[in-house]
């Protein structure tokens, strides 16, 4: 199993985001790590509103949220297909659970994960045992982590080898740049394309082609923000694009601006 990510891939304008909010990614209890990549905790106290943008990963999230002037709530967020945008203002706190791709299904075995894709559902009915106060009230980070652990362990996830297989396959796509075509990947795993697609629909929530393309955009996004004078044609070739134009098209459709414009000013994205 791949280790939890410690990069900021997917966060648009990561430097500005980290300057405005207090963002941490603690690990869950050992018993939960086959399902959960990490928790994510955000606290903010802003004089002016700030709009954050994220290019989502192929992960389901459960998010406990407290915004100033609103009642706290918990939300189930399926994989968002487009740019995820959230306005932050005043004071607030979020405690999120990022499931590994494939890792959410054991907590809700009765539904294909694709049924949650593109949806954000306030979920007292889905998770009636969620203790909002225990998760959101403590200033002590350890207490919040313990409350998240208790919440998930109380759901008693069902062991499922297919979920583990889905997690393994997505980890391979994330870490192996040579995986570019779904047909080639399916054959290398001894599966038909149809069987691979069914597995991803049931346990990941999106198809394998979407996952391959999304990890390409994540890498391009990070390179645009952290490197000077990116060789876009060379990067397109490295990521398996037919040419630079296809990379620019996908990047612009996902992030909202062309990669060269983003490299010049990451705050101009999300339009």
Topology (CATH level 3) of domain 161-268: Arc Repressor Mutant, subunit A (1.10.10)
What's the CA gap between 15 and 68, in Å, rounded? 24
Phi and psi for 11 in degrees, rounded to 5?
A: -80, 120
The H-or-E segment that residue 146 falls in is helix 141-154
pLDDT at 178: 86
pLDDT at 6: 62
pLDDT at 224: 85
pLDDT at 26: 96
Q: State whether residue 147 is helix, strand or coil.
A: helix
pTM of the model: 0.92
pLDDT at 227: 83
Q: What is the mean pLDDT of each run of 10 residues along the chain (271 residues)?
A: 67 91 96 96 96 94 95 94 93 97 94 95 76 95 97 92 97 90 95 98 97 92 85 89 90 89 75 48
pLDDT at 5: 57
Q: Are 144 and 138 in contact (CB under 8 A)?
A: yes
For residue 213, give Cα distances in angstroms to 21, 54, 56, 180: 29, 15, 12, 9
pLDDT at 35: 97
pLDDT at 79: 97
């Amino acid at each position: 199993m791949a280790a939890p990510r410690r990069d900021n891939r997917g966060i648009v304008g990561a430097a500005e985001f980290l300057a405005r909010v207090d963002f941490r990614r603690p690990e869950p209890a050992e018993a939960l790590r086959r399902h959960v990549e990490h928790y994510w905790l955000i606290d903010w106290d802003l004089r002016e509103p700030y709009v954050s943008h994220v290019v989502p990963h192929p992960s389901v999230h459960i998010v406990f949220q407290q915004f100033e002037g609103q009642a706290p709530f918990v939300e189930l967020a399926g994989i968002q297909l487009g740019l995820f945008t959230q306005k932050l203002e005043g004071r607030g706190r979020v405690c999120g659970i990022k499931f590994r791709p494939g890792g959410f299904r054991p907590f809700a075995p009765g539904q294909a994960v694709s049924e949650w894709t593109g949806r954000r559902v306030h979920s007292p009915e889905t998770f009636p045992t969620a203790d909002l106060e225990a998760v959101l009230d403590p200033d002590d980070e350890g207490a919040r982590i313990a409350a998240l652990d208790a919440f998930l362990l109380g759901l008693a996830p069902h062991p499922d080898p297919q979920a583990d297989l889905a997690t393994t396959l997505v980890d391979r796509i994330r870490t192996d740049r040579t995986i570019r075509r779904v047909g080639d990947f399916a054959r290398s795993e001894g599966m038909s394309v149809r069987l691979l697609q069914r597995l991803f629909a049931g346990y990941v929530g999106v198809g394998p082609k979407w996952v391959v393309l999304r990890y390409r955009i994540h890498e391009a996004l990070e390179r645009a923000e952290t490197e000077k004078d990116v060789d876009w044609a060379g990067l397109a070739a490295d990521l398996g694009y037919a040419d630079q134009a296809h990379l620019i098209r996908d990047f612009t459709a996902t992030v909202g601006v062309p990669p060269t414009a983003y490299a010049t000013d990451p705050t101009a994205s999300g339009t």
